[in-house]
Amino acid sequence: MVQFERRVLADVRQQGLLNQQDRVLIAVSGGPDSVALLHLLVAWKAVLDLSLRVVHFNHGLRGEESEADASFVRTLCEQLGVPCLIQRLNVQQVIQAQKGKSIQSVARALRYEGLSQIVQDQDLTKVALGHTSDDQAETVLMWMLRGAGSVGLSGMAAFRDPYFIRPLLRASRVEIEAYLQKNQWTYRIDSSNANPQYRRNRIRQELVPVLKQYNPKIVQALSRQSAILRDESAYLDHVASNALASDMIRFDVDGVVLNQKKVSALPRAIQRRVLVLIYRQVTRTVGYLRFDFVESVLKLMNQGHSGSMLKTHGMQVYRDYDEIHLCPVSEKNHSQSSSPKNIPLSIPGMIHWPWTGQTLEACLVEDLPRVWKNEVSCVYLDADHFTPNLVVRQWEPGDSFYPFGMDGQKKKIQDFFSDIKLSKIKRADVPLVVAPEGIIWVAGFRPDHRFCVKSETTKFVMLKIFNNPSRPR
């Protein structure tokens, strides 16, 4: 191995990026960085007993140039004896479906999805990406211009769970080009890298040269800064994770629930970090939260009233008394918009309640069980006191009933929900079973006193609500 190959391999070993007998997928665009990365891994193959695979993503955005890139990578892999997969990405189609997103962000997301799928399909252990210290400096500057904190200014990590590695992150673009030139290895130039439409290109072409007038080693300085901030950011993550391991957090079927008082008692910096960790967990991404959204959540947490709610980037946050609920934004609201307002429930009969995925069942029974009582999930009513033309619907303003156990007192549904401290956001999920004579059951909570079984009752209706989609025994 030549000196550059030995030096980068030493960095790779020092950072623990590669292990003996790793099965590595290399993302090769055909540009100088990824081509150099491919040659390096081929040089290390015998030393580390590596198994190598290459994938090239053809975005189809540059016509013949894109096709020529794919052909170049295929030929290079044949020459090096490395299996190669050319995969096409429908970037334009996704952009049309996800309006408002940039070409670069959509293409990046599709690439990572494709890489992850190949790793799973081929049982690989690592994915090698060709980012350099220059890319790191540009990334840090991009986040700096956005006003990012330590998370954004940490830049890219050399290793990102679960299998992404960046072996060239401590190597400069100048070193890589010199390595390729010395060995007379060719590569492709992406014409879009010169397009000033993209912010990263403007940073590379305009901002970095100006900064080099103040510090000729600005790339190294920014890379060093990112390493320092990454360590400090990891420590804050550790502190925030320990805080979340306490009794200030619990999980429910919707997402994460925080104890408002305990989280508010944490230092502001840790509060922010707690939200970032939960956001990643809830949305199952490694994305970043915008500062203004984090501050809005903290305001809701520290000053908001019960029922306060906001949404962003796939996450919904709402306050329910002294609890802060964070959950993924569900697509069910879109499908429910077409759901009927009144769902008929025959006796006997069974219906699906789309807002919670539960099942409601109604049936006639000849006799009551020997030991019975009305429970939240199952009630017995007097069939002679209401007309069997039942519907199930959501609550509406002005709805009222006579809750069982309140000596026949009338109560508005809204006040009943407030008394039991049911979150405003969950109230619309509660099914009301309604007869022409009125609400007979707030399903899952309380039947109406007027329709409950009495000593003289001879005809019984049993109503049930349950999660299991199969018929209960």
Domain CATH code at residue 273: 3.30.465.60
Statement to judge: residues 59 and 193 lie in one domain = yes
Segments in 355-466 forming alpha helices (H): 413-419, 424-427
Statement to judge: residues 146 and 29 lie in one domain = yes
Statement to judge: residues 37 and 93 lie in one domain = yes
Statement to judge: residues 265 and 321 lie in one domain = yes
Confidence of residue 468 (pLDDT cuts 50, 70, 90): low
User: Mean pLDDT over all residues of the chain?
Assistant: 89
Q: Which two tokens stand for residue 111?
A: 């690439």
Of the residues 228, 256, 282, which one is the last residue of a structural domain?
A: 228
Of the residues 261, 294, 329, which one is the last residue of a structural domain?
A: 329
Q: What is the pLDDT of residues 405-448, one digit of tens each?
A: 888 899 999 999 988 888 777 888 899 999 999 999 999 999 99
**Parallel, antiparallel, or unpaired for β 438-442 and 349-353?**
unpaired
Domain assignment present for residue 456? The answer is: yes
Q: Please provide residue 127's backbone torsions phi and psi, each rounded to the nearest 5 degrees.
A: -120, 120
Statement to judge: residues 58 and 155 lie in one domain = yes
Domain assignment present for residue 472? The answer is: no
- DSSP letter at 194 equals G
Domain with residue 65: its CATH number is 3.40.50.620
Confidence of residue 49 (pLDDT cuts 50, 70, 90): very high
Type of residue at 443: A
Statement to judge: residues 289 and 384 lie in one domain = no
Residue 402 above 90 pLDDT? yes
Q: What is the pLDDT of residues 191-206, one digit of tens each?
A: 888 888 889 999 999 9
Statement to judge: residues 112 and 253 lie in one domain = no
Domain assignment present for residue 239? The answer is: no
Statement to judge: residues 136 and 61 lie in one domain = yes
Cα 197 to its chain centre, rounded Å, is 29
Domain count, the chain: 3
Q: What is the pLDDT of residue 470?
A: 45
Q: Could you tell me the CA-to-CA distances from 456 to 129, 369, 382, 383, 460 in Å, in that order?
A: 78, 16, 9, 12, 11
Q: What is the percent of the chain with per-residue pLDDT over 70, rounded to a whole number?
A: 95
Residue 225 above 80 pLDDT? yes
Q: Which two tokens stand for residue 470?
A: 């199969």
Domain assignment present for residue 324? The answer is: yes
Q: What is the pLDDT of residue 4?
A: 95
Predicted TM-score (pTM) of this structure: 0.70
Q: What is the pLDDT of residue 100?
A: 66
Q: What is the pLDDT of residue 370?
A: 79
Statement to judge: residues 62 and 161 lie in one domain = yes
Residue 26: name the closest of 171, 165, 169 by CA: 165
Least confident of 1-15, 135-149, 175-189, 276-290: 276-290
Q: Could you tell me the CA-to-CA distances from 57 to 85, 96, 112 in Å, in that order?
A: 9, 19, 10
Q: What is the pLDDT of residue 335?
A: 44
Statement to judge: residues 325 and 340 lie in one domain = no
Domain that holds residue 447: 336-466
Residue 446: name the closest of 473, 393, 406, 418 by CA: 406
